[in-house]
Amino acid sequence: MADYYEVLGVSKDASEDEIKRAYRKMSRKYHPDIAGAEFEDKFKEVNSAYEVLSDSQKRQMYDQGVDPNNPGASGFGGASGFEGFSDVFGQFFGGGFGGGASQGPIPRTQPGRDALTRLTIDLKTAVFGGTANTVIHTYGLCQDCGGSGAEQNSKPVTCPECHGQGFVQKVVRTMLGQMMTTAPCDRCEGHGTIIEHPCPSCLGHGRVRTKRTVGVSIPAGISDDSRLRLASQGEVGEGGGAAGDLYIDVSIATDRQFTREGDDLHCWIRIPMSWAVLGHDITIDTFDGQQSVSIPAGCQPDDTISLKGLGVGKLRSQGERGELVAHVTVEIPTKLNDKEQELIESFSESHDADAKHTAQRSKPTPVNRKGFFNRLKDALS
């Protein structure tokens, strides 16, 4: 019996959330559309493990030594005592030991698998929401045969070997003697019909490998590394079967002007020292266009100015948005002309004549903004 906990890389006491996170990680890693076709078996193994461990009843059965995906197998990987005779007894007792009498043709039409792709959007799309396009390579319906798998003007015919049953009876030797059992028909592979003239485009599969562009609706406020689901946009199944779902892992590209923290946007603006001292009105760029911002007189380095309603849209509160927080950086001049040097020295003599080195503190010393900036303002005027 496969160790499903080991397949997902979780402990036996893992929570539902831990199992779900592990599955998402492993499905991304081994999905054939991303990792390559050679990982298809591994991807199926991951899905089988999640199918069992995500269902409380199936997980309980598994923990007791029974694999719900293969209930006929024992906890030690061997066949159970009745598995080998299920088909045999079914022939005589109406399927009571495995349903042999209820066997029928295997449908050619099979549901498609889910598909997975990645999509990178810009920060502005995450702020407002919108539509983004992604290109996927997957199986689509064969347009030439409409999914039937047969060439135009032809249809599958009844298998002459099993006469449409999909299975044939065989004589097997058991410890009870020779008995009849059933097995899928080799001629039609259990379908009950044969495609004598396969469609040249899909070679009888009813689907072809395609490349298509899919429009993805992005909700305002979406977070980085989110996963979206588009129903029936995945892989079309064999025989033109219903398409699986398409999952999109969304990443948000780094923006040149803004960083994001939750629902808030942050930016850093550099202003001259005189603007910080005297105050100044400036214009900054936002995702809503240019906005006027007033720098108050006496603005300190690392002060912030908040603009409400100009941040990221709140995912579960339609119309509401966070703040845009502008962090102020004061630019200290490194070169002064003679007049500027004279003014700064005059200010220093007036304000800093009695200044001394004070003891170090664990927190910044409060600044008397009014006295300091009023004096500097007078010195520069």
The annotated binding site for Zn(2+) is made up of: 142, 145, 159, 162, 185, 188, 199, 202
Residue with tokens 């689907």: 207
Contact 26, 9 (CB under 8 A): yes
Q: With b meaning 16 or more CB within 10 Å and e meaning fewer, what string describes 352-372?
A: eeeeeeeeeeeeeeeeeeeee
Residue with tokens 């689509």: 140
Which residues make up each annotated binding site? 142, 145, 159, 162, 185, 188, 199, 202
3-state secondary structure 54-96: CCHHHHHHHHCCCCCCCCCECCCCCECCCHHHHHHHHHHHCCC
- Pull the structure tokens for residue 343: 């003014």
d(CA 352, CA 372): 10
End-to-end alpha-carbon separation of the chain, Å? Answer: 86
Strand 130-141, strand 207-218: pairing: antiparallel
Quote helix, strand, coil % in the chain, to nearest 5. 25, 30, 40
d(CA 299, CA 320): 30
Contact 79, 73 (CB under 8 A): yes
Residues in the chain: 381
3-state secondary structure of 159: coil
